[in-house]
Amino acid sequence: MPLSSKVSEARVVFTPSGKRGYFPIGTSVLQAAQNLGVDIDSVCGGRGICGRCQIVQAKGEFPKHRINSKAENISPLCETEKAYAERPKKTLAEGRRLSCATKILADCVIDVPPDSQVHQQIIRKDAEAFDIEIIPPVQLHYVEVWEPNMYDPSGDLRRLREALEREWQLKNLRFGPGMLLSLQRELREGNWKVTVAVDYLGQVIAVYPGFRESLCGLAVDVGSTTVAAHLCNLRTGEVLASAGVMNPQIRFGEDLMSRVSYVMMHPEGAAEMTASIRGALNDLFANVAKQVKGAVEDILEITLVANPIMHHLLLGIDPVELGGAPFALATDESVRVRARDLNLTLHTNTRCYVLPCIAGHVGADTAGMILSEAPYQREAITLLVDIGTNAEIVLGNNERLLAASSPTGPAFEGAQISCGQRAAPGAIERVRIDRETLEPHFQIIGCDLWSNETGFAKASKKIGVTGICGSGIIEVIAEMYLSGILSTDGVIHGYTAEKTPRVVADGRTFSYVLHKGDQEIHVTQNDVRAVQLAKAALYAGIRLLMEHLKVKIIDRIRLAGAFGSHIDVKYAMVLGLIPDCDLLQVSSAGNAAGTGARIALLNYESRKEIEEVVRKVEKVETAVESKFQEHFVNAMAFPHKTDSFPNLAKAVELPDEKNMQNQTDTENIRKKRRRRKN
């Protein structure tokens, strides 16, 4: 729908997709979503029966969208919604609305929760196989306590202490006041036989009636886009269950600085975001406990990693100071708190350990990555890159470690891309382009067949081809460059339209048609620019670290994070996301931050280790580096304007730059002639 400024129309922005448009006053939210191609479920055709199209209005000022989303900007709760909420086994939680029954009355921001999406987000933060020395932070001790009698007036607590000292030589244990509230019941339920959980600091965490063999702990990676949790057996290290959810804070801003801006504009914004992430964690904890048919009260230890802004919001700290130089952290030390102090609904004595931050925008997630990959134990110069809305970079070896962050933005996650979407069934994730015909073929999430294989149409019919996710964006742009559709400077060549109908005029520029169907998927010139800006910011940060470390060659590269785990390292190098390196030494580190959280959960001695290591990491602040802009400009080219890529050239036939430049010059001459004629 074309943009308009008429009063009879309202501007609507949907999150987390970022899709937006103008609609006549009185349009239902569901109709607006369907017109924009927003992924929202509806089975009953808008009759208010199925309840699958539930949405939440995000209220408040949204400067990024230039919208003040007031409560009165959508219609009030109607009879259809009230009737739905009163039906047996149907719920309409506070703040939720049925999009089919909700009318747009003025500009608003609408959040589509994960459970209302047809193609639900795939949280790609699985637990990686990893050898971890198990030194649990909590140990279990089974004891038989002497029963009270008329001749021994000592209390139950004293006799429990004596039993622990007699059978386990545990002295001077600390019992919190809360332990007394249930101690007598637990002793009698267990017939004076109990299992006592004691942490490595000598604190009694819990007392269980009878014999108990194992305890659970949680390793949690709180990302700006997704949150992942792994439930582990604290004795064996086994991952019992894993689950992930979209970070509900996305409705306040796709990238971290947008969320800080929201807090700056709304004094209550920090508390809102803190409540939303803690609520998501509680839902996540219930999910993993349910998977093993357990209870959240069985979880006694949690370790968490997060970037600095998520770290502060999770702990209830205002993140405004991280919104501008000098990007001061409230604390860069590790934090140990009770789960109940964070309003996390677990056992009353569950403890949370948050890994230390490093500085500025290099947080506990980077500390987790360092703990997991241990570059401080290697001689080889190692580059660690965690690619997200903000990329964290670590470079060095056992002699010296440097770290930096780079503002890559959400382009690699599908945002800011015309047909982009997050990883979900139907999203294009792999792309190849024929060098002669320039015809593409691709794979989508949820279907193993390539689009040019027999049976693809039938196999993909149910989920459809809905958009393109981060890994697909990387591959299609790299393939466009390798096939000559894109110039080294990132310009879509108009002359290729003479070779293929896939290249089409798009205003003053050109687009590449990746898929024709009910929903055409184009790669536009603006899409290419968004990727160029993101990859140039990342590469410039890496080059700064290389200069500070005084190295010209990197021995090994590890790509971490959900995005880094699913991109082809060859294509990452073709685009110039990372410097040249032996491709055999470039690999995925998986969810390294989450693995670091798991190490800290299962081996309490590793906590002291990472606390000592991060204090020695040298932070390079890209925002004040004079050469950052120079590196950024050079890194806009594919793969780079000045840096050579000899290792890449051995594996991939790179385009002839001179030939491409000659064709570009010819094209420019033709354009000038046409302008003169006109």
pLDDT tens digit sequence for 110-132: 998 877 876 555 444 555 556 78
CATH code, domain with 143 = 3.10.20.880
- pLDDT reported for residue 3: 42
Both 88 and 28 in one domain: the answer is: yes
Both 632 and 663 in one domain: the answer is: no
Both 632 and 667 in one domain: the answer is: no
Both 645 and 556 in one domain: the answer is: yes
* Nearest in space to 311 (alpha carbons), one of 273, 259, 359, 363: 363
- pLDDT reported for residue 669: 47
413 falls in which pLDDT band (50, 70, 90)?
low
61 falls in which pLDDT band (50, 70, 90)?
confident
Residue 369 lies in a domain: no
CATH code, domain with 578 = 3.30.420
**What's the whole-number mean pLDDT along residues 643-661?**
82
Q: Beta strands 96-98 and 174-175: pairing type?
A: unpaired
Both 518 and 543 in one domain: the answer is: no
- Domains in the chain: how many in total? 4
Cβ atoms of 363 and 369 within 8 Å: the answer is: no
Residue 366 lies in a domain: no
Quick one: DSSP state of residue 4? -
411 falls in which pLDDT band (50, 70, 90)?
low
- pLDDT reported for residue 312: 95
Both 439 and 515 in one domain: the answer is: yes
Lowest mean pLDDT among 20-24, 378-382, 563-567: 563-567
- pLDDT reported for residue 440: 96
Question: Which of the pair, 5 or 411, is modelled with greater confidence?
Answer: 411
Both 203 and 152 in one domain: the answer is: yes
- pLDDT reported for residue 433: 96
- pLDDT reported for residue 185: 92
Both 571 and 499 in one domain: the answer is: no
**What's the whole-number mean pLDDT along residues 646-658?**
86
Share of the chain above pLDDT 90, in %: 57
Both 637 and 538 in one domain: the answer is: yes
CB crowding 553-586: b at 16 or more within 10 Å, else e: ebebbbbbbbbbbbbebebbbbbbbbbbbbbebb
The DSSP element (H or E) to which 204 belongs, if any, is strand 203-209
- pLDDT reported for residue 667: 54
Which among 113-127, 410-424, 552-566 has the top mean pLDDT?
A: 552-566
Both 65 and 146 in one domain: the answer is: no
Residue 423 lies in a domain: yes
Tokens of 543: 């080059």
Burial class (CB in 10 A: 0-12, 13-18, 19+), 148: middle
Question: Which of the pair, 70 or 265, is modelled with greater confidence?
Answer: 70
Quick one: DSSP state of residue 356? P
Residue 133 lies in a domain: no
- pLDDT reported for residue 562: 67
322 falls in which pLDDT band (50, 70, 90)?
confident
Please identify, among 166, 190, 209, the residue that sits at the C-terminal boundary of a domain: 209
Both 105 and 144 in one domain: the answer is: no
Burial class (CB in 10 A: 0-12, 13-18, 19+), 248: buried
CATH code, domain with 86 = 3.10.20.30
Residue 272 lies in a domain: no
Residue 404 lies in a domain: yes
Residue 433 lies in a domain: yes
- pLDDT reported for residue 434: 95
Please identify, among 83, 116, 149, the residue that sits at the C-terminal boundary of a domain: 116
> In which domain, by residue range, is 156 found?
138-209
- pLDDT reported for residue 63: 77
Question: Which of the pair, 411 or 67, is modelled with greater confidence?
Answer: 67
**What's the whole-number mean pLDDT along residues 482-497?**
95
Model confidence pLDDT, tens digit, residues 127-185:
555 678 888 899 888 999 998 888 877 899 999 999 999 988 999 999 877 788 889 99
Residue 129 lies in a domain: no
- pLDDT reported for residue 579: 96
- The residue type of 434 is D
Both 454 and 545 in one domain: the answer is: no
Confidence check: pLDDT of 663 > 60: no
